[in-house]
Structure formats: structure tokens, C-alpha cells
């Protein structure tokens, strides 16, 4: 009876160890599948940008600024940027309109911002490519008011003229 009980206990331990190893093995397979599918999705994304958001920081009022977003064709087919549309008229994008990018080829989108209005800004630029696909880039920053004169006004100048 002792031998039967010992054998039964060893079988239960062996079974539970096997179940734990199988569970860990399945978890590893699932995480590997998730990594692979996200990597594959990234590789299938034709238009890849060096960054999707640029912060100009603080800029003086009345001084337009520009930034260049690098674009790479990461797909296996050619890529054509159809349109680049800004969310308002104070933002002006420019790109090579007739260029068709071969796989792995680079191009650029230059985005200008007219810093006429004082205060913070956050502008969205929508890129339309390969007929109907879209991607968005964002520019942001803060425009500070510049003084009216290059040097502060000397109010004591009047006193000097009286002498």
C-alpha cells in the first residue's frame, strides 16, 4: 500500500511539473508571435518617418520657422506622396510632388510655421500617400511676443535734454 501511495504521489508531481512547463512554453510562443506580428506590421508600413512630432520650443513672434521630416519608403512597392495638408493656413508643408519613391528610398517633407500669433501652438499635418493611406505629423511650440524696439526705452532721456 505504501508503494502504491508513493507511486501515485510521484505521478501527481510529474503531471503538475509537465503542466507548468507546457504553460511556460505556450506563453513563450505567444509572446514570440506578438513580437513577430508587430515587427511584421512595422515592416509592412510603407511610409516611415524619422519622427512624427517636432517641438520648436519657444520662438520669437514674427520669425517663421521650418523643420524637415525625413521620409523612407519601407515597403516592397513604390510610394507616392499624394498630398500633405496642414490643419491651418499658418503651417505650410512642401515636398517633391511628382516623386515616386522606390523601396528604401528617402525623401523629405519640409514644414514651415508662420509665428505671427503669440501663444502656444499645436498643428497637425496629414500626409496622404499611395491613393488612400494617411499618416499624421505634429508640430508644436510657443510663440513669445517680441519687444517693439531693439532696446528698452530710456525714460530718463527727457531729463538729459533739460541740462
Q: What is the mean pLDDT of residues 64-90?
A: 94
Q: What is the pLDDT of residues 29-58, one digit of tens each?
A: 555 445 444 444 444 578 999 999 999 999
pTM for the full predicted model: 0.64
**For position 41, what pLDDT does the model report?**
46
Q: Please check the confidence at residue 80 and state whether its pLDDT lies above 70.
A: yes
Among the listed residues 50, 48, 53, the one whose alpha carbon sits nearest the alpha carbon of residue 104: 48
| More confident position, 30 or 95 | 95
Residue 116 grid cell = 505671427
E-assigned strand segments in the chain: 47-49, 53-60, 65-73, 79-86, 91-94, 100-101, 106-113, 119-129, 133-144
- Residue 148 sits at the vertex; the CA angle it makes with 142 and 154, to the nearest 5 degrees, is 130
> Strands 53-60, 133-144: parallel, antiparallel or unpaired by DSSP?
parallel
pLDDT band at 6 (very low <50, low <70, confident <90, very high): confident
Look at residue 17 and give its three-state secondary structure: helix
**For position 25, what pLDDT does the model report?**
52
Q: What is the pLDDT of residues 104-159, one digit of tens each?
A: 999 999 999 999 889 999 999 999 999 899 999 999 999 998 776 666 666 776 66
Amino acid at each position: 500500500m505504501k508503494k502504491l501511495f508513493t507511486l501515485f504521489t510521484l505521478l501527481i508531481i510529474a503531471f503538475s511539473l509537465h503542466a507548468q512547463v507546457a504553460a511556460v512554453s505556450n506563453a513563450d510562443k505567444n509572446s514570440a508571435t506578438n513580437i513577430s506580428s508587430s515587427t511584421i506590421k512595422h515592416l509592412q508600413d510603407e511610409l516611415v518617418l524619422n519622427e512624427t512630432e517636432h517641438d520648436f520650443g519657444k520662438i520669437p513672434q514674427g520669425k517663421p520657422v521650418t523643420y524637415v521630416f525625413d521620409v523612407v519608403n519601407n515597403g516592397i512597392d513604390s510610394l507616392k506622396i499624394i498630398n500633405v495638408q496642414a490643419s491651418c493656413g499658418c503651417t505650410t508643408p512642401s515636398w517633391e510632388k511628382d516623386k515616386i519613391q522606390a523601396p528604401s528610398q528617402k525623401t523629405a517633407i519640409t514644414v514651415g510655421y508662420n509665428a505671427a500669433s503669440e501663444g502656444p501652438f499645436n498643428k497637425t499635418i496629414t500626409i496622404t500617400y499611395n491613393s488612400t493611406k494617411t499618416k499624421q505629423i505634429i508640430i508644436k511650440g510657443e510663440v513669445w511676443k517680441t519687444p517693439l524696439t531693439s532696446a528698452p526705452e530710456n525714460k530718463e532721456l527727457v531729463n538729459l535734454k533739460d541740462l
